[in-house]
């Protein structure tokens, strides 16, 4: 054989080899993806031949299936639809699922490998066993209160979020975003109805499909002072260490004077604990610039989880819930020295600092739990159609940003905020409540309102909560504090 023919033969062999590899890749590695594609009509018809599994909160289904008379035999139904929409999500006939519906789609649809025995039995009995079930960690009482209080807030805020966690385990007890939405029309078997409903939500300027609890960041305002206080304690300061406060602090190298909020009394000499209690801007701005420095502030924020996505334990691979990271922003100049004007503003939660409500709840939970931050999770357990347990959640430590002593000092300081300072609206008789309020200037519209805090029964942490009210204006942080108190009361209701 001459050289040109040999070259042609080699090329043909290589092409056949590539074709063989691609065929095996499609049939072997991508088979599941194509089989479960929302564009596969055959799969869609097959999926709706059996009841979809239930999503359960406190023993009651919040997502179920009902039989219909149409071509698709079973239709998805949602109980308390808007209350759980941002957690449960929705499963449209044509389109991508969201939330738990997407994260556990194979189990709920009955196609999971864990349900292989059920599918084999169906082949011989001509039955259609329902899909598996997902039991959430959500507290029904806490979630309902969170949604109700957000919607009925007393300052007219139209956007906000609530996150409540069990500090000892990481269980998500409440996850609410305002405005929410009704998933029911989105899963309609009438394509026009589903499409119209989705397009209306997509075009809504208030973005009701956005989960503000985990997928959006905001300036944290004075809640950032908890991180500054942690950094100070870590460096050896004590709650009774005297700081320099005063009525104003001129940020270095600028003409801008940082002042305190109206009504805040911050003397020239003030202890670290009292500065947190009354939320003294001048003391914390000075603390960040003159004593801690950018590296210490950034390091402590990162130790608590800034710059990392605190994904839910079940959602590590795909981040279905689109959990985003919180950020401090760049606090150094190009030459590596501290950007002192920005550091002064960042020390009171302004400038480029941005935080999610989930991150705020994690900070409070870590302090309540003795310095140990648990990985948040949404699913208590999964079960088969016969309710036999398939998998059960196991709490896991995510990180330990502070020592037990620092956590104890911070707990006492945050309790002081609630008992004698700006967080009085969160007090609960018979329980120890600690927290920190926050008012964040936006520069364009009304201020945001924040509260992060925890409730304890004796020495045992019960819950940690973050409440955020977007553009809440005057009284926003006080209202966020009140809402947090209501959510914590719902959680502690059975412990009295």
- Give catalytic status of residue 279 as yes or no: no
Query: Considering its fold, how many domains does the chain have in total?
Result: 1
pLDDT at 261 over 70: yes
What's the confidence (pLDDT) of residue 224? 98
- Residue 28: the pLDDT is 60
Contact predicate 292/232, CB 8 Å: yes
What's the burial of 305, exposed, middle or buried (CB within 10 Å: 0-12/13-18/19+)? buried
Q: What is the DSSP string of 16-48?
A: HHHHHHHHHIIIIISHHHHHT-TT-HHHHHHHT
Helix, strand, coil shares, percent, the chain, to 5? 40, 20, 40
Q: What is the CA radius of gyration of the chain?
A: 26
The answer to whether residue 336 scores a pLDDT higher than 70 is: yes
Residue 30 inside a domain? The answer is: no
pLDDT confidence bin for 468, thresholds 50/70/90? very high
pLDDT at 95: 87
| 77 contacts 64 by C-beta, under 8 angstroms | yes
Q: What is the DSSP string of 203-239?
A: H-TT-TTS-TTTS--B--GGGGHHHHHHHHHHTT--T
Do the Cβ atoms of 281 and 260 come closer than 8 Å?
A: yes
Residue 387 is assigned to a structural domain of this protein: no
Q: Is 122 helix (H, G, I), strand (E, B) or coil?
A: helix
* 404 within domain boundaries: yes
Position 24 pLDDT exceeds 80:
no
Query: Which residue reads 């269980």 in tokens?
Result: 171
For 71-85, the DSSP string reads SS-EEEEETTHHHHH
| Residue 75 bridge partners (DSSP) | 66
Range of the domain at 330: 221-378+395-495
> Of 420, 450, 448, 454, which is closest to residue 435 (Cα–Cα)?
454
**pLDDT of res. 47:** 82
Do the domain assignments include residue 483?
yes
DSSP letter string, 295-311: HHHHHHHHHHTTTS---
Share of the chain above pLDDT 70, in %: 90
Instruction: Report the percentage of the chain scoring pLDDT > 90.
Output: 81
d(C-alpha 452, C-alpha 361), whole Å: 6
Q: Which two tokens stand for residue 465?
A: 């909560």
CATH number at residue 296: 3.40.710.10
Which is it for strands 257-259 and 248-250: parallel, antiparallel or unpaired? antiparallel
Where do we find the tokens 């190009």?
334
String of DSSP letters for 423-466: TGGG--TTSEEEEEEEEE--SSSSPEEEEEEEEEETTEEEEEEE
Asked if residue 16 is part of any domain, the answer here is no
> Which residue, chain included where needed, has tokens 């905001």?
218
Indicate whether 474 belongs to any domain: yes
Better-predicted residue by pLDDT, 12 or 303: 303
* Mean pLDDT, rounded, for 215-234: 98
- Residue 234 confidence (pLDDT) above 80: yes
Check pLDDT > 80 for residue 275: yes
Between these two residues, 9 and 468, which has the higher pLDDT value?
468
Tens of pLDDT along 128-143?
A: 788 999 999 999 999 9
Q: Specify the range with the lowest mean pLDDT, choosing from 43-52, 224-233, 430-439.
A: 43-52
pLDDT for 223 equals: 98
What distance in Å separates the CA atoms of residue 447 and residue 476, rounded to the nearest whole number? 8
Measured from the Cβ of residue 235, the count of other Cβ atoms closer than 10 Å reads 12
**Residue 334 phi, psi (nearest 5):** -55, -30
CA distance 142 to 492: 9
pLDDT of residue 44 exceeding 90: no
Say what the pLDDT of residue 10 is.
65
Name every residue whose Cβ is closer than 8 Å to that of residue 120 and which is 6 or more positions away in sequence. Answer: none
Sign, Cα dihedral of 143, 148, 150, 151: positive
**What pTM does this model have?**
0.91
pLDDT of residue 94: 84
The pLDDT, as a whole number, for residue 495 is 72
Give which of 99, 417, 112 is closest to 278, Cα–Cα: 417
Mean pLDDT of 344-364: 98
**Residues 309, 268: Cα–Cα separation, whole Å:** 39
Q: Is the pLDDT of residue 391 over 60?
A: yes
The pLDDT value recorded for residue 274 is 98
Confirm whether 15 is domain-assigned.
Answer: no
| Higher local confidence (pLDDT), 16 or 110 | 110
pLDDT reported for residue 26: 55
- Angle at which helices 225-234 and 294-304 cross, to 10°: 110
Residues 6+ apart with CB under 8 A from 139: 58, 164, 173, 174, 490, 491
pLDDT at 21 over 70: no
- Does 309 or 46 have the greater pLDDT score? 309
Q: How far apart are CA 288 and CA 481, in angstroms?
A: 26
What per-residue confidence (pLDDT) applies to 129?
A: 84
User: Residue 418: pLDDT band by 50, 70, 90 thresholds?
Assistant: very high
Q: Following DSSP, what letter does each residue of 367-436 receive, concatenated?
A: HHTTTPEEPPB-EEEEE-TT--EEEE----EEE--S-HHHHHHHHHHHHHHHHHSTTGGG--TTSEEEEE
Per-residue pLDDT tens for 68-111?
Answer: 988 899 999 999 889 999 999 999 998 899 999 999 999 999 99
Q: What is the pLDDT of residue 417?
A: 98
pLDDT band at residue 5 using 50, 70 and 90 as cut-offs: low
**Sorting pLDDT into bands at 50, 70 and 90, what band is 449?**
very high
Which pLDDT band holds residue 115 (cuts at 50, 70, 90)? confident
Mean pLDDT of the chain: 92
Largest CA distance in the chain: 97
What SS3 class is residue 66?
strand
Compute the distance between CA of residue 371 and CA of residue 404 in angstroms, rounded to an integer.
5
Catalytic residue among 177, 222, 326, 416: 222
Query: What pLDDT is stored for residue 128 in this prediction?
Result: 76
For residue 317, how many other CB atoms are within 10 A of its CB? Answer: 8
């Amino acid at each position: 054989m001459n050289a040109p023919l040999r070259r042609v033969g080699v090329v043909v062999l290589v092409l056949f080899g590539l074709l063989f590899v691609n065929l095996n890749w499609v049939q072997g590695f991508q088979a599941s993806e194509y089989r479960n594609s929302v564009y596969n009509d055959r799969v869609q018809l097959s999926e709706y031949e059996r009841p979809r599994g239930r999503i359960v909160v406190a023993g009651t289904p919040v997502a179920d299936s009902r039989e219909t008379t149409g071509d698709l035999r079973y239709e998805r139904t949602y109980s308390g639809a808007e209350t759980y929409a941002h957690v449960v999500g929705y499963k449209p006939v044509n389109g991508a699922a969201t939330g738990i519906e997407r994260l556990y789609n194979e189990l709920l649809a009955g196609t999971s490998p864990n349900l292989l025995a059920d599918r084999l039995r169906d082949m011989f009995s001509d039955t259609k066993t329902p899909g598996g079930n997902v039991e959430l960690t959500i507290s029904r009482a806490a979630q309902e209160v969170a949604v109700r209080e957000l919607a009925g807030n007393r300052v007219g805020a139209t956007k906000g979020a609530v996150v409540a966690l069990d500090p000892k385990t990481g269980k998500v007890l409440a996850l609410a975003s305002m405005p929410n939405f009704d998933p029911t029309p989105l899963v309609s078997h009438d394509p026009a109805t589903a499409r119209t409903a989705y397009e209306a939500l997509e075009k809504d300027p208030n973005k009701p499909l956005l989960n503000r609890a985990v997928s959006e960041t905001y300036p944290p305002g004075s809640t950032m002072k908890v991180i500054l206080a942690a950094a100070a304690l870590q460096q050896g300061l004590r709650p009774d260490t005297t700081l320099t406060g005063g009525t104003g602090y001129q940020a270095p190298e600028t003409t801008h004077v940082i002042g305190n909020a109206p009504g805040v009394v911050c003397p020239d000499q003030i202890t670290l604990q009292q500065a947190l209690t009354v939320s003294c801007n001048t003391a914390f701005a000075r603390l960040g610039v003159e004593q801690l420095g950018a590296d210490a502030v950034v390091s402590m924020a990162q130790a608590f989880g800034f710059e990392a996505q605190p994904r839910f334990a079940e959602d590590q691979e795909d981040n279905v819930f689109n959990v985003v990271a919180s950020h401090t922003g760049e606090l150094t100049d190009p030459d590596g020295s501290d950007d002192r004007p920005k550091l002064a503003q960042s020390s009171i939660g302004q400038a480029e600092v941005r935080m999610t409500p989930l991150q705020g709840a994690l900070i409070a939970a870590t302090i309540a739990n003795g310095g140990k931050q648990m990985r948040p999770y949404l699913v208590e357990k999964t079960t088969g159609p016969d309710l036999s347990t398939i998998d059960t959640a196991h709490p896991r430590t995510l990180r330990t940003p502070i020592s037990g002593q620092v956590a104890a000092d911070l707990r006492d300081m945050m309790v002081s905020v609630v008992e004698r300072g700006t967080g009085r609206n969160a007090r609960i008789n018979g329980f120890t409540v600690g927290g920190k309020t926050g008012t964040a200037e936006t520069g364009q519209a009304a201020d945001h309102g924040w509260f992060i805090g925890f409730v304890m029964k004796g020495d045992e942490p019960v819950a940690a909560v973050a409440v955020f009210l977007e553009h809440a204006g005057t009284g926003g942080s006080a209202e966020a504090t009140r809402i947090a108190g209501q959510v914590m009361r719902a959680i502690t209701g059975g412990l009295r």
